Amino acid sequence: MDILKIVGIALIATFLALIIKEQKPNFAFLLVVFVGCTIFLYLVDQIYMIIHMIERIAVNANINMLYLETILKIVGIAYIAEFASQITKDAGQGAIAAKIEMAGKIFILAMAIPILTVLIETIIQMIPS
């Protein structure tokens, strides 16, 4: 099972980082960032398979691909912002992490505006005049 590999690597890295942190805190942080990026890259294939499956379902359901692409971009922004925020929190930079989270939320809102506009227009059309 892949999750056991990921958890095993993460736990080993955590214990090593705790041990190294006493002597060389910079190396401990680099180890944590490296392992985090490695885990993320390990998951890229899974992410690709999920996106491909969702696209196939959308094509079969005749869903406008523009909406699907926008939603997938929104999900990607959320994951990337969360990943970057956690790394900066690990580095002890909570203020920067909060700014990354805020930027992610603003980008998500900006990307969602076209979908929200279509949704509101559809609701308005359904209301009898």
Tens digit of each residue's pLDDT (9 = 90 or more) over 67-121: 889 999 999 999 999 989 998 998 889 999 999 999 999 999 999 998 889 889 9
> Which pLDDT value is given to residue 24?
92
* DSSP string for 40-101: HHHTHHHHHHHHHHHHHHHHHTT--HHHHHHHHHHHHHHHHHHHHHHHHHHTT-HHHHHHHH
Q: How many CA atoms lie within 13 A of 54 on its CB side?
A: 15
Angstrom distance (rounded) from CA 121 to CA 93 = 42
14-29 average pLDDT score: 91
> Which pLDDT value is given to residue 1?
77
> Which pLDDT value is given to residue 65?
87
The model carries a pTM of 0.76
> Which pLDDT value is given to residue 63?
85
Tens digit of each residue's pLDDT (9 = 90 or more) over 48-73: 999 899 999 989 988 888 888 999 99
Angstrom distance (rounded) from CA 80 to CA 82 = 5
> Which pLDDT value is given to residue 91?
83
